[in-house]
Amino acid sequence: MSTDLEMRPATAPEFDAFYDSMSDTFFEGVFEVDVESERERFEPERSLTAWDAGSIVATGGIFSRQLTVPGGIVPMAGVTYITVAPTHRRQGLLTRMLLRQFTDLHDGGAEAVAGLWASEGGIYGRFGYGSAAPRALFTGSKPAFRPGTDLGTGRVRRVSKDALRPHAEAVYEVLRPRTVGHLDRSPAWWDRRLMDPEHWRDGATPNRYVVHEEADGSITGFAVFRVKADWSGAESNSQVIVMDLSGTTPQATARLWRFVLDLDLVSGFRRRLASPEEPVRYLVADPRTVKLEIVDSLWIRIVDLDRALAARRYQVELDVVLEVTDAHCAWNVGRWRLTGGRDGADVRRTSGHADLSLSTTELGAAYLGGTTLQALSAAGQVVEHTAGALRQASLAFGWDSAPWCPEVF
C-alpha cells in the first residue's frame, strides 16, 4: 500500500534519478539539454518523491512563481513533475502527494493559490483545481489583411537569438502586469523559453527571430517562428509555425503578423499557445481563413480562500456571502463574506445567509476571470440562493480581457 512507502523531498544529488523516473512515466526521451535546463530550475526542497525498494516510483514538485491576477500579482505554487510509475498506479500515491502539497502550502503561508498544466483533463478537478485560463491554437492559410489596417511607421528587423533576448524580456515585462495569467520569468526561465533543441522541432527549421522597431529605434514587439517544409506537391505546402508573437502596441502586433503571413514559400500558418483573443482573427479580411481550437491551459487551486480572494480585484462592486465546500482543505469550508471592487477586497467568515453555494473548484475556475460563475451555474456547479447575486458575482469575477498563460511548466 502507498501508506507504507516513504514520501519525502528529493535532494539535489538525487535529481538525475528524479528526472529519469519522471521522464520514463511521461514516455519522454532523456536529452542532456533538457536535463540541465530542468536542473537549473529545480527546487529540491519543494519536490516530493515516493520510494519503493530504493527506487523512485512517484514524483512531484513546485516552482515558485508570480502570477498576474485581476488587479495585481500574487505568489503561485507552480505544481509540476507529477507522475506515478505504472507499477504503482491506483495505490493512492497521487492523492498523498497533492494533499501533502496543500497542507505544506497552507502551513507555509507563502502562496494562497497553486496552478498547474494538466497532462490529462480529467485528473485534477477532483482535487479542487479549476480550469481557469483557456489557450488557443490558430491555423489557416495565408489570409489577406483587412484593408486599412494600421501598421504604424515601424519596421520588422531580423535579429539573432542573443540580440532578441533583452528586447523580448523588456516587451514581456510591459505586457506581464496587464495580462492576467502571465508568470514572472527569471533568467533560468528565459533560458528555457528560448531553447530550441532539434528534438523539439518535429522536422521544422531552427527558430527565426525578428523584432518590431519604431522610427525612433525603440523596440515594441518581437516574434519567434520556424517553418515546417513540405514540397511533396508541385508547389510548396510549407507551414510557418509561430512560437511567440508579442507587441506592446496594436500597430506592432499587426505589422508582426503581416510579416509572418507574408513570408514567401509558405502556404499556411500555425500559432500555438496563443490567447483566445489573439488579434489575428480581426486583422484578416476573411476570418473564415483562420481556424480556432480552444483547450485548457492553466488550472488554479484555491489553497487559502480568504487570502486568495482578497489578493485580486473585482470588475464591479461586490458584497456576497459564499457557502463553500472543499473536499481536501477543511480550512476553506464554510460561509465567507466577500466584499470588494477595483480598489481592494475583504474576505472574512460569517454566519450570515448564503447568497451562493459552490466549491473551491468553481472558485479556482473563476479566479482569473476566464470562466464565468453564470456558465458554471448553467452546468449546475454554482447554486444561487439570493436573486441577483449570481449575476453580480459573475460580473465582479470577470476582468477587462481574457486570461492567457503562454508558458507550460
Catalytic site residues? 124, 409
E strand or H helix at 389, and its extent?
A: helix 389-397
CB-count burial class (<10 Å; 0-12, 13-18, 19+) for 139: middle
Q: Which three cell numbers stand for residue 341?
A: 471592487
What are the Cα distances from residue 217, in Å, to 14, 118, 151, 211, 220? 48, 41, 16, 11, 9
Cell triple for 259: 510579416
Q: Tell me which residue has cell 527558430.
A: 207
User: In whole angstroms, what is the distance from residue 68 CA to residue 400 CA?
Assistant: 13
Q: Which three cell numbers stand for residue 35?
A: 536535463
Q: What is the DSSP string of 90-147?
A: TSSHHHHHHHHHHHHHHHH-S-SEEEEE-SSTTSGGGGTEEEEEEEEEEEEE-PPBPT
